[in-house]
């Protein structure tokens, strides 16, 4: 999905989610944060703000959706990397906590040039792999699968590494450490990464690193996602993941940890 469609879809789905009492407050907070970010960067009382308010009144109105998309395009919102990242994070939370809303108001895209929409739809673009069904045998990958987007609905056996877009999911044949045992990932690592994507800006992460005594420039990556992963890996490898996790929780106590 292109940045403009992603941002518009996040705002539309977020408006629908915000009106539902059963939707967790964390989702609503991230939606409000996205709106505040856009207003702060592109101006209060702007045409974009007016279009967002209009969509909030009737999220399902196609005409209002088109006006919002047009105003976002005219204002150049789609060129803002931080807004785009926040929109992606919001859509991820909505898919997790309010899947019915996600299915109604947004589409899913992985990779380039491919779009799927509707209940149960999936898509994968360039370099993507989809394997579905009750796979009980082996899927022979040779030495490596490395895809920009991959969905596997069953078991997989890799000759060496199975590498996903955002993290290494399965180690096969070669262990990541000297003891020959693949490290069991703490599920809170993924939770923390999602929180960083959803409710922390790049400056917030830099402040967190400074507070905890980490040299920001020594962390790999340039964009927020890369820095977030590097920060998590730094504390995980150092055996101090709890320190980072607790510090992040303290900075965002209202997030659904």
Q: What is the mean pLDDT of residues 220-242?
A: 89
Burial readout 71-106 (b: 16 or more C-beta within 10 A, e: otherwise): bbeebebbebeebbbbbbbbbbbbeebbeebbbebb
The DSSP code for 157 is: B
Q: Average pLDDT of the chain?
A: 76
Least confident of 89-98, 135-144, 201-210: 135-144
C-alpha dist (Å) from residue 201 to 40, 51, 208, 227: 14, 24, 11, 11
Reported confidence tier of residue 95, pLDDT bands at 50, 70, 90 = confident
Residue 234 has pLDDT above 80, yes or no: yes
Q: What is the mean pLDDT of residues 232-246?
A: 90
- 161 — phi, psi (to 5°)? -100, 140
The domain segmentation of the chain, as residue ranges, is 3-105, 121-184, 187-251
Residue 159 has pLDDT above 80, yes or no: no
209 within 8 A of 166, measured Cβ to Cβ: no
- The bridge status of strand 161-163 relative to strand 168-171 is antiparallel
Reported confidence tier of residue 231, pLDDT bands at 50, 70, 90 = very high
Owner of token pair 């997030």: 255
Q: In whole angstroms, how large is the CA radius of gyration of the chain?
A: 20
pLDDT at 72: 92
Residue 135 has pLDDT above 80, yes or no: no
CA distance 153 to 135: 7
Instruction: Say whether pTM exceeds 0.75.
Output: no
What is the percent of the chain where pLDDT is above 70? 68
Residue 185 has pLDDT above 80, yes or no: no
pLDDT at 257: 85
pLDDT at 108: 38
Residue 214 has pLDDT above 60, yes or no: yes
């Amino acid at each position: 999905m292109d940045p403009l469609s992603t941002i518009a879809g996040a705002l539309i789905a977020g408006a629908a989610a915000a009106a539902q009492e059963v939707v967790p407050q964390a989702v609503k907070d991230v939606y409000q944060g996205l709106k505040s970010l856009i207003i702060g960067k592109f101006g209060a009382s702007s045409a974009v703000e007016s279009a967002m308010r209009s969509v909030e009144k009737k999220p399902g109105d196609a005409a209002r959706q088109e006006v919002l998309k047009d105003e976002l395009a005219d204002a150049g919102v789609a060129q803002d990397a931080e807004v785009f990242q926040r929109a992606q994070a919001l859509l991820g939370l909505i898919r997790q906590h309010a899947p019915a809303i996600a299915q109604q108001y947004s589409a899913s895209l992985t990779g380039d040039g491919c779009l799927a929409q509707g209940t149960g739809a999936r898509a994968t673009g360039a370099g993507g792999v989809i394997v579905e069904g009750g796979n009980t045998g082996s899927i022979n990958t040779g030495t490596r699968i490395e895809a920009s987007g991959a969905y596997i609905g069953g078991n997989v056996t890799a000759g060496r590494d199975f590498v996903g877009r955002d993290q290494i999911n399965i180690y096969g044949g070669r262990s990541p450490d000297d003891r020959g045992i693949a490290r069991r990932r703490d599920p809170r690592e993924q939770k923390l990464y999602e929180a960083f994507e959803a409710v922390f800006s790049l400056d917030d992460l830099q402040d967190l690193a400074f507070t905890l005594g980490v040299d920001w420039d020594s962390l790999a990556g340039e964009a927020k996602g890369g820095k977030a992963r590097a920060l998590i890996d730094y504390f995980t490898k150092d055996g101090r993941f709890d320190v980072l996790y607790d510090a992040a929780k303290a900075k965002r106590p209202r997030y659904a940890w």
